[in-house]
Amino acid sequence: MKKIAFILMAVVSALVVTGCSQNSYSNQRKAEDKLIANFIARNHINVLTEEPADDYEWAENDYLLVPGVDNLYFHLRQRGDSIAVDGQDTIHLEAVSAQETVVVRYKKFALTENADTLSYWTTLDQSYPTEFKYMNTTSCEATGWHLAVQYMKYTNAECQIICPSKQGFSEDQNSVTPYCYIMKIKIKR
């Protein structure tokens, strides 16, 4: 009888371990990587591996793979405020500095095939958008946002980022869920 109970416990333990390992963090990250790769393929995204010059004209499907960060992709949709000089040249207003307040209005999209065109959450229609201190490590915003702002640089810049869970909000990290954000920023001075 003890042998049967022991064998039964061993079989149940093996099933539990097998079930848990199938949903391990490593497996979730592999599934996330695959989801991001599928999103890139479905949307015919052209991945840039080197940071373009400031005057680069971003094509609709050009995305920079942010150096040093796995699976964070950045696309500049709108450069931001600039001032005409002598009717031809433009110079940008002062770029964002560390600890300045950045005001963000955004749309958040799931990367799944059926949900990538539906807004998951938006602040675009709210009177009080999200604010955070740029490069403040205690900020509760997604670290991917700070990395995006470093490329956006100026008030009224707009971008789209593909953000893996590790650079997302804490709830995204816990569920290992990547998202795509369309962000527009203003710098409070």
Report the chain (189 residues): mean pLDDT per 10 consecutive residues. 54 48 86 95 96 92 95 94 55 76 87 63 70 79 88 91 91 87 87
Tell me the C-alpha to C-alpha distance, in Å, between residue 133 and each of 78, 100, 170, 177.
Answer: 21, 5, 17, 24
pLDDT of the residue at 18: 45
Q: Note the CATH number of domain 3-188.
A: 3.10.50.40
At residue 147, what are phi and psi to the nearest 5 degrees?
Answer: -65, -35
Say what the pTM is.
0.79
Tell me the DSSP string of 95-149: PP-TT-EEEEEEEEEE-STTTTTS-SEE-TT-SS-EEEETT-TT--S-HHHHHHH
| 8 A C-beta contact, residue 21 and residue 98 | no
